[in-house]
Structure 1
Amino acid sequence: MIRSVLSLKPKAGQSQDLVRFFGARKIPERALASPGCLGVEVQKLLPDGDEVLVTALWASVDSYRTWLESAGRHEDGVQMLPLLAEDGGALGPARLYEVARCVTHHNTSVSR
């Protein structure tokens, strides 16, 4: 398994708008429908929300690559740009981590 980690820097005061963007475009749901996606989280940094972190758990690197090439992914990025800070580090490439060990509770779900 691998985990993708994408760090986004929203414009000042627009972190909640960025989180809503992910919901409005159903990005987590579309990712979860992609073969090999096991879970997706969109997170805001506390206390100010000056970073939005998007993480997902994938069965393999190939399943993550399939998601990257899926319909709508490029358009998501284009539509997201007006919500991101204008400095060069607002949107970087996702980092991939191999999940070496994972312990979870079963049948839990958190949503806000």
Structure 2
Amino acid sequence: MHGDEDGQVTGLARLGAAELGVPLGRRATLVQFSSAFCQPCRATRRILADVTGLVEGVRHIEIDAEARLELVRALGIEKTPTVLVLDAEGRIVRRAVGMPRKADVIAALGAAV
């Protein structure tokens, strides 16, 4: 995935149902931070939906950045879309800013599963 992929975040190193509002995927979770008028966010939503349809046990969760400012601040999210790839335990293993390519998302999932 493009962007800052080191997975290092301030505040939270692991996310779960308590922070996200829904359960994690069995194998991995793609967490997308979006905003209402963000064109790349819509395309990213389609890409991530395609990937979750291809890879069993992966869940896509989209979060409205404006509605979840406390989480955005804790994770150091500065732009939308930002995508976090979580492993089955909720650890952040990849982070990308901007619209990812489908092949990059699939490759990033390799680090999570």
TM-score, normalised by the number of residues in structure 2: 0.31
TM-score normalised by length of structure 1: 0.31
User: Is the radius of gyration larger for structure 1 or structure 2?
Assistant: 1
